[in-house]
Amino acid sequence: MELTKEQIQKIDLFLEGIGIEYIDIRFEMVDHIATEIENNIEDINAFFKYNGFQTPFIKYMLSRKKEYFESYKKQKRKAFWFNIKRTLVAVFKESIKPINFIAILLFLFAINLLENFNLKYASEIVFVSFFLSFFYFTIRFNQFKKKFGAIKIIHAYASIFMFNYIVSFHFPGITPIFSEGSYSPFLLYKCFTALIINFLVFKCFLNEKTNIQKRLKNLA
């Protein structure tokens, strides 16, 4: 017998209550526990029937509280690098989609033409676009986190996004460009590459956001 949506919600709320904050890890644990209950409990309705602390479900979960939390801590440690790799793969796949690949090539072609005409204008367009993308994407990441809470995979996207920004901004720094007018093709295309990475990371983030919202809807 499969668990109802309300019963799955109870599992999710219990895990959240014991400090399992990352939603995507909690999703996996909810699935695992739900399957465990479906396979081992004969009368599921009686199992979830409320009777205070004597409710079989509550007693069952409390007896495994330490086990669940230890499992969560292990998954959290492993999840960061796993999600970084997963995110990089997603970004690569996004980059070779025909519509994105063509858009990037067209933008590159336009920047190249403008660079040949006026390096300063080309640089300023790319630099301003990069800064605007950084602020816009940062706001969107924060809005999502505020609405849905901590999500490990989104943390990976945000980490790559911030790393891209730090590397682009400081190695070498592009701050003197506007104050000193030290434009160069190298800085132009370095910033262009960073802008494209921002764009691809954000598109992958939107795809992941949709998947997470669907999962949350199932738990709602």
Q: Where are the domains of the chain?
A: 5-63, 79-219
Length of the chain: 220
Mean pLDDT of the chain: 83
Identify the pLDDT of residue 216: 65
Instruction: Measure the CA–CA gap between 123 and 63, rounded to whole angstroms.
Output: 62
Identify the pLDDT of residue 101: 92
101 alpha carbon, distance to own chain's centre: 22
Q: Which class for 205: exposed (0-12), middle (13-18), buried (19 or more C-beta within 10 A)?
A: buried
Instruction: Measure the CA–CA gap between 144 and 200, rounded to whole angstroms.
Output: 18
pLDDT (tens place) for every residue of the chain, 220 residues total: 688 888 898 999 899 888 888 887 888 899 999 999 988 888 888 888 877 777 888 888 988 898 988 888 888 888 778 888 888 898 899 999 999 999 999 999 998 898 888 888 888 888 888 889 888 888 888 888 777 777 777 788 888 888 888 887 776 555 555 555 567 788 888 888 889 998 998 888 888 877 777 766 655 5
Both structure tokens of 99: 């519509």
Instruction: Measure the CA–CA gap between 219 and 12, rounded to whole angstroms.
Output: 8
Record the pTM: 0.69
For 32, 54, 102, 186, the CA distances from 113, given in Å and listed in that order, are 55, 74, 16, 15
Other beta carbons within 10 angstroms of residue 59's beta carbon come to 13
DSSP 41: -
Question: Crossing angle of helices 119-148/152-170, nearest 10°?
Answer: 160
H runs (alpha helix) in the chain:
5-17, 23-40, 44-48, 56-63, 65-95, 98-117, 119-148, 152-170, 176-180, 185-219
pLDDT tens-digit readout, 158-175:
888 888 888 877 765 555
